[in-house]
Structure 1
């Protein structure tokens, strides 16, 4: 495969992806373009990467999202150079890198295990890549000081890893990865060992860091919340393939199939029959005979389909109204800012509802009848 044909095979991101990139004022993208074109990786008869094509633009933040065994870490390792592909091509700025050893690719790397040198101070850990690259002492000291300040680690400069919390150690690992100001930074589930609050805090720091540096970030996670919060685009992987790539909004609101709908966020899948189509609006009838409308971009033939309705898009009322369906409450939980209600429609299908806890909203009792509804813009026909 030629370089030009490999890049065409990987495709281009949409304008919406470019619009989501918002580097900090005064910064500019210094990152490299990464192209994976028809990449294959086999382990015996198992295809860990099954013809993966992906095009990441300079300075973009792309997340590989998927369950264990989906191929996301395999693809990251192939790009990093830890493994060699059995087919296809990987290019950086249009040049094949398959034969370039890992240490010469110039990527910054952050892993789940911090991999810090226990006998070195924070300063020494961060300075290590500069020392290996033969950077002079004055430049190294200045660069390390800038990086520690950026990662809010200056006051910990003389500590060893054993004297620091998990979150602080992860900041050191990130500082070491960025101290050379690499054009590409690879992160393999770097936050999975942290507690929820700390993880959310460092998510914001990584996102701000991306805007400041302008490097290309490729981030691997199985946590859909992380992917939605941090990414310019998300590549959802399953069985060694990219099944959908798009902005967080598009992947969440307009999944291409049931797998993406179920994996990215909580979902209700309502079985229904298409009665009519007008433009992008489809009229459907569910199993108990209620008629409602949904949106669809695809030309779908008349027949039975699954309709995605996100739990937060379902409106709840104690009284019947236009287009509302009766449902029996099976469980109701108060979770602070939201109420989480599971109810059963007349068709026998269960729906999950997440509604804001507002003044005067009473938590319904199990067995009570409520009325649920949603608009055509709140649900999506899956092809």
Structure 2
């Protein structure tokens, strides 16, 4: 359970990353992972992973099953021992600090509530274990329940509550000690979509209020994009890319990140001209277009990412459009999901807003599509 780290040295507060409110004092700790290794026999779950987290930052470990994200969280929590490298909290190694002395709040996928205790008793448990006096404990529990909108449920047991309410109790118990670091291991995966989205907003607002450093593990891309200051995308025991959600989504550095984070169209094209910041390219279907790029020396061919929502549908052919044949068309409420094949054989996925003026195209019908340089990205 979370308690104060007596061994921590005071350190100078660092300005949190945008868009955090820089005027608000951060209580969170910095985290530094340096060449962390964890193996299970011949399998390497964490392969020389390095990552720095600023005080008060909300960072998400995102990746498929088996990528190493939960292993990394368990190493940080102290549930497992590292086989190489080191983990520092506020500049000090925690290698020999037991789990219960690390001072972390923890939220698990299984809520891990005590079924024989009321909500108030569950939330008060860390305070009781830390020897906090009754008056202070009651005040802190009341404040935390109010923060999590649970005051009306204080006397209920977990069996009398919905899944979403139980998850809020688990979060309240994790933050009641105002820990410097909160670890969350896929805490929303058991909830339905609408409730999951609601609690995502609540956790984000809570983070802005308490200022703890949060390390959040998920395989859900929308959760990561919605909640994080930064995302660390993981695969096969490595961190593939770290960046702000907008950069991870719009400017991925590899095919894996482009494919894993959101839906994508990956188009192979010939480089006609490299201007440094942009390239002029020609697809197999003959479409000549510009794309953003960081590689000023690339030549030959390139893979270009075009997100489905960035593709424009044209009523008629234009100089900057290409014809495609519709192979699938689905009405999804607020959006239309269309698949179309271009003359060169490339299949495009297109997502566009449903409007009164737009009808769902018929399979086999001909459409015209286009995109601008700001809508696509050349992968490294």
TM-score when scaled to structure 1? Answer: 0.94
Matches of 1:300 and 1:109 in 2, distance apart?
47
1:184 equivalent in alignment to 2:202: no
1:359 — aligned with what? Answer: 356
For the residue of structure 1 that corresponds to 2:17, the secondary structure is helix
> How many angstroms does 1:300 deviate by?
4.4
Output one character per residue of 1:124-182: Cα deviation in whole Å (capped at 9) or x when no partner.
10000000000000000000000000001111000000010000000000000000000
For the residue of structure 2 that corresponds to 1:18, the secondary structure is coil
1:9 — aligned with what? Answer: none
Matches of 2:348 and 2:42 in 1, distance apart?
40
State which drifts further: 333-342 or 251-260: 333-342
Matches of 1:127 and 1:141 in 2, distance apart?
8
1:283 is aligned, of 247, 272, 280, to 280
> How many angstroms does 1:50 deviate by?
0.5
2:225 — aligned with what? Answer: 228
State which drifts further: 358-367 or 47-56: 358-367
1:382 — aligned with what? Answer: 379
For the residue of structure 1 that corresponds to 2:340, the secondary structure is strand
For the residue of structure 2 that corresponds to 1:20, the secondary structure is coil
> How many angstroms does 1:296 deviate by?
0.5
1:58 — aligned with what? Answer: 55
State which drifts further: 295-304 or 236-245: 295-304
State which drifts further: 314-323 or 61-70: 314-323
Over aligned residues, Cα RMSD in angstroms? 1.3
Matches of 1:49 and 1:373 in 2, distance apart?
42
Matches of 2:311 and 2:297 in 1, distance apart?
24
1:88 equivalent in alignment to 2:97: no
Output one character per residue of 1:208-229: Cα deviation in whole Å (capped at 9) or x when no partner.
0000000000000000000000
1:205 — aligned with what? Answer: 202
Contact conserved, 1:76 with 1:186, CA < 8 A, in 2?
Answer: yes
> How many angstroms does 1:289 deviate by?
2.5
TM-score when scaled to structure 2? Answer: 0.95
Matches of 1:222 and 1:253 in 2, distance apart?
19
> How many angstroms does 1:327 deviate by?
0.3
- In the TM superposition, what are the counterparts of 1:5-44 in structure 2 within 5 Å? 18-22=17-21, 27-44=24-41
> How many angstroms does 1:288 deviate by?
2.5
Contact conserved, 2:292 with 2:373, CA < 8 A, in 1?
Answer: yes
Structure 2 unpaired stretches of 5+: 1-13
Matches of 2:69 and 2:297 in 1, distance apart?
31
1:305 equivalent in alignment to 2:302: yes
- In the TM superposition, what are the counterparts of 1:48-197 in structure 2 within 5 Å? 48-197=45-194
Structure 1 unpaired stretches of 5+: 1-12
Matches of 1:350 and 1:312 in 2, distance apart?
15
Runs of 4+ in 1 over 6 A off after TM superposition: none
Matches of 1:362 and 1:276 in 2, distance apart?
38
Contact conserved, 1:274 with 1:304, CA < 8 A, in 2?
Answer: yes
For the residue of structure 2 that corresponds to 1:177, the secondary structure is helix
Query: How many pairs align?
Result: 367
1:5 — aligned with what? Answer: none
Matches of 2:72 and 2:223 in 1, distance apart?
19
Matches of 2:122 and 2:287 in 1, distance apart?
64
Contact conserved, 2:292 with 2:376, CA < 8 A, in 1?
Answer: yes
Matches of 2:21 and 2:108 in 1, distance apart?
25
State which drifts further: 272-281 or 49-58: 272-281
